């Protein structure tokens, strides 16, 4: 992205809530940021490191439930609850990763789905955290940043979501430029060849998983504070995991901006169909998603970013390199 238009875009994004003060547009933007962040987090594990997790909602749910539980039982501010949630998500991710990373490809994907289902079922039957009834976040007035609750305006949520997105993007960018980022890409291509070059494959995978899980959990806490009610069906389901994948894949896995691009395209689409189609919208939009996933898989696995690259023609043989001056040959 070139300097001037990028700066303008950033300014526009920052100024958005000042111009649009109706809740719905703000909500759409918040959703774009949230899904963008979740997809970017997923991208670290799946896009860069090549481990396709189809059960990522697990970490979202852990984040949401941990902070909410702590708010209810320990009156702990969600900010700390968020950190606890992220830490817990990391621990769980390592536990899941231990058996699951020995698997490759399709088997790995199936295993992640399975874990997602197990956790959802477990929480569904666990009365301590509300079971099927879910948990309400205790309403606290007046609005405050400490309690992370705002009832009259979505403006603060907007900036928080934006902050989360920035965090996710920043983390991705940092990893991308580090040794770890190179190792991830090598593992994605051929983990055995990477091992022969001294790459500790298991350790790297676990690291990717940890980063991804932590970020996703942060998103979960945000969601809990935004909607003030959570239940297993809303934070753990397979459909959420699918959605996260789809957003990332649609935009382009393995690239920095891809997942955000996917969110920019898909979220308005999904909100739009929900408004237009009302009750039956639920099935129809997932139906369209299914078709979209297939189309992407067949025609352009690199997503929108890949499409853009193709349209731009014979650009650099290896794309999106900002940190490599010698490629300017």
Q: Which stretch binds another protein (CB under 8 A): 30-38, 138-146, 287-295, 306-314?
A: 287-295
Site for another protein in 197-216 (CB under 8 A): 197-201
317 is an interface residue for another protein by CB under 8 A: yes
Site for another protein in 80-109 (CB under 8 A): 99-100, 102-103, 105-107, 109
Dist CA 83 CA 66 (whole Å): 9
111 is an interface residue for another protein by CB under 8 A: yes
Q: Which stretch binds another protein (CB under 8 A): 4-12, 84-92, 218-226, 241-249?
A: 241-249
- Nearer Cβ to another protein, position 186 or 218? 186
Q: Which stretch binds another protein (CB under 8 A): 8-16, 152-160, 268-276, 293-301?
A: 293-301
Min dist. Cβ of residue 68 to another protein (A): 22
Min dist. Cβ of residue 226 to another protein (A): 26
Q: Which stretch binds another protein (CB under 8 A): 80-88, 255-263, 268-276, 278-286?
A: 278-286
- Nearer Cβ to another protein, position 140 or 185? 185
Min dist. Cβ of residue 60 to another protein (A): 19
- Nearer Cβ to another protein, position 28 or 52? 52
Min dist. Cβ of residue 186 to another protein (A): 5
Number of residues that bind another protein (CB under 8 A): 70
- Specify whether the CB–CB gap between 238 and 244 falls below 8 A: no
Helices 23-43 and 238-251: angle between axes, nearest 10 degrees: 80
Site for another protein in 167-196 (CB under 8 A): 177-179, 182-183, 185-186, 189-190, 192-196
310 is an interface residue for another protein by CB under 8 A: no
User: Is-cis flag, bond preceding 142, omega within 30?
Assistant: yes
Instruction: Give the binding site for another protein (CB under 8 A).
Output: 46, 50, 52, 54, 99-100, 102-103, 105-107, 109-111, 113-115, 117-118, 121-122, 124-125, 177-179, 182-183, 185-186, 189-190, 192-201, 242, 245, 249, 253, 280, 282-284, 286-287, 289-298, 301, 317-318, 323-324, 326-327, 329
């Amino acid at each position: 992205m070139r300097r001037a238009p990028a700066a303008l875009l950033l300014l526009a994004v920052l100024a958005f809530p000042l111009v649009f003060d109706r809740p719905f547009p703000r909500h759409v933007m918040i959703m774009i940021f949230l899904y963008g962040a979740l997809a970017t987090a997923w991208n670290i594990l799946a896009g860069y490191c090549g481990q396709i997790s189809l059960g990522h909602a697990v970490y979202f749910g852990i984040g949401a439930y941990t902070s909410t539980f702590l708010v209810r039982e320990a009156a702990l501010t969600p900010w700390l609850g968020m950190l606890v949630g992220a830490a817990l998500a990391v621990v769980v991710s390592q536990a899941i990763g231990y058996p699951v990373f020995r698997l490759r490809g399709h088997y790995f994907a199936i295993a992640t789905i399975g874990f997602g289902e197990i956790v959802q079922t477990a929480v569904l039957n666990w009365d301590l955290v509300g079971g099927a009834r879910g948990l309400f976040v205790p309403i606290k007035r007046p609005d405050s940043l400490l309690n992370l609750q705002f009832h009259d305006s979505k403006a603060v949520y907007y900036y928080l979501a934006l902050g989360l997105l920035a965090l996710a993007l920043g983390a991705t960018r940092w990893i991308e430029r580090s040794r770890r980022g190179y190792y991830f890409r090598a593992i994605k291509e051929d983990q055995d060849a990477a091992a022969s070059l001294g790459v500790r494959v298991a350790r790297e995978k676990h690291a990717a998983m940890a980063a991804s899980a932590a970020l996703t959990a942060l998103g979960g806490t945000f969601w809990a504070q935004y909607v003030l009610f959570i239940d297993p069906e809303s934070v753990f389901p397979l459909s959420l995991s699918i959605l996260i994948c789809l957003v990332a894949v649609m935009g382009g896995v393995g690239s920095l901006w891809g997942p955000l691009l996917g969110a920019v395209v898909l979220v308005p689409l999904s909100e739009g169909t929900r408004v237009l189609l009302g009750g039956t919208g639920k099935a129809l939009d997932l139906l369209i998603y299914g078709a979209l996933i297939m189309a992407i898989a067949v025609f352009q696995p690199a997503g929108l970013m890949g499409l853009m690259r193709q349209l731009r023609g014979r650009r650099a043989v290896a794309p999106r390199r900002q940190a490599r001056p010698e490629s300017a040959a």
